[in-house]
Amino acid sequence: MANSHHQADAASSPLVDRRAALLRLLRLAGLSAGTAAAGYWLSTRSAKPTDALVAGARRDHTIAANPQFPDLTVVHDGAPAAMVQRALQELGGIQRFISRADVVIVKPNIAWDRTPEQAANTNPEVVAELVRQCWSAGAKKVIVTDVSCNDPRRCFERSGIAAAARQLGAEILLPASEKFKEVDLGGDILQNWPVYQPFLEADKIINVPIAKHHSLTGCTLGMKNWYGILGGQRHRLHQRIHESLADLADFVRPTLTLVDSYRVLLRNGPTGGNLEDVLLKKTLVAGTDPVALDAYVAKAYWNLEPSALPYLKMAADRGLGSLQFEKLRTQIVALGSNS
C-alpha cells in the first residue's frame, strides 16, 4: 500500500493541492460526512482534595519519533479489532509503544449511559483489542478507566466496555472519590484540580476517544477526552473550554492516540441517543501527533478548519503537535469488509 505522503502527484503539487488530495482520499475512505481572574476562578473548585497538593505531576508518556513509520494511519472498511491490529502494524507494532512490565492505561470515552450503537462512547471491540495488544507486548498491568459523566457503573456496563475489556484480563477501575489527588496542573487556566490517581502512576497511556459532535467545540476528539481524568465540577471548565483543553493536552501527553470512527456521532453530541445521528464509517485514525489527529478528523467529518478550534492552535503553539496534517507521513489502508 503506497504511502500517500510519497505519492508522486502529492510530491510535485503545492501544499494546498496535497491537502485537498489527502482529504479526497479520506472521503473515499469513508471519512467525510455530510487571565488571572479566570485562572483563580477555575482553580477554586468545590471538590475537597483527599491529599496534599501533588506538585510536578506532569509526565510525558510519548515515545521517540521514527521516520520509518507514518505519523498518521487511517484504516477503514474493516472490523474494529482488525483495524486496531492493522493500525498498530503500520505504526511499527505495539512493541514500539509498550514495553515489558509497563503499567498501561487504556483511556476510552465511557462518559455516557449509552449503548455502542448510539456512538457516545468508544467502541468496546476497539478497547478490547488494545488490551490484548498490550498483554502481547508484555505489559505488567492493563487498566481501563474513565471518569464518567453519568453513573459510572451504568456507563461502563451499558457501553459494553467493561465486559469486553474484562474478558481480555484488563483491570476495570470505576472512579472512586478517595482515588482523586489534588494536582498542580501548571496550566494557564487549569491550576489546582483533582486528578484520578491511576493517571498519575501509569507508565504508558493510550488515548482512545470516539469521534463525535460537541455542542460547544463542534466536535470532541482526543484532547477533549482528557476531561475524563478530572474530578470536581468539570462543567465549569466550559467557560474557558479551549484554554482548558490546551492545558490538559499539555499535562497528559499520551503514548499513542487512536480515534475510534467505527460509528460517528455526527449531531447532537456529546451525549447522543438518537440512532439517526449516527453514521457507520468503519474507520480508525491513529498516530503519535494528538494535534494533527484532532485537526484531521475535525476537517474530515465536520469540515472544521483549525481556526474554528482555537484549542488546536494553543496546543500547537506549546509544541504538542502540528496543525498541518497534510505535511505528515500518512498511510491510508483499506481492509475490506470481511477482514
Domains of the chain plus CATH, in order, are: 4-334 (3.40.50.11440)
For 49, the grid coordinates are 482534595
Q: What is the mean pLDDT of residues 239-265?
A: 96
The three three-digit cell numbers of residue 73, written as one number = 494511519
Q: Is the pLDDT of residue 46 over 50?
A: no
Contacts 24+ apart (CB under 8 A), 24-27: 25/332, 26/74, 26/296, 26/300, 26/332, 27/300
Helix 290-302 to helix 310-317 angle (10° resolution) is: 160
Average pLDDT of every residue of the chain: 87
Report residue 70: phi and psi, to 5°: -65, 155
Closest CA to 227 of 268, 266, 175: 175
Q: What is the DSSP letter of 96?
A: G
Residue 130 reports pLDDT greater than 70: yes
Does residue 176 carry a pLDDT above 60?
Answer: yes
Confidence band of 28 (pLDDT split at 50, 70, 90): low
Q: How much of the chain exceeds pLDDT 70, in percent?
A: 82
Per-residue pLDDT at 24: 60
Secondary structure percentages of the chain, helix, strand, coil, to 5: 40, 20, 40
Q: Rounded CA gap, 300 and 38, in Å?
A: 33
Nearest of 225, 224, 227, 254 to residue 63 by alpha carbon? 254
The whole-model pTM stands at 0.86
pLDDT band at 319 (very low <50, low <70, confident <90, very high): very high
pLDDT at 129: 98
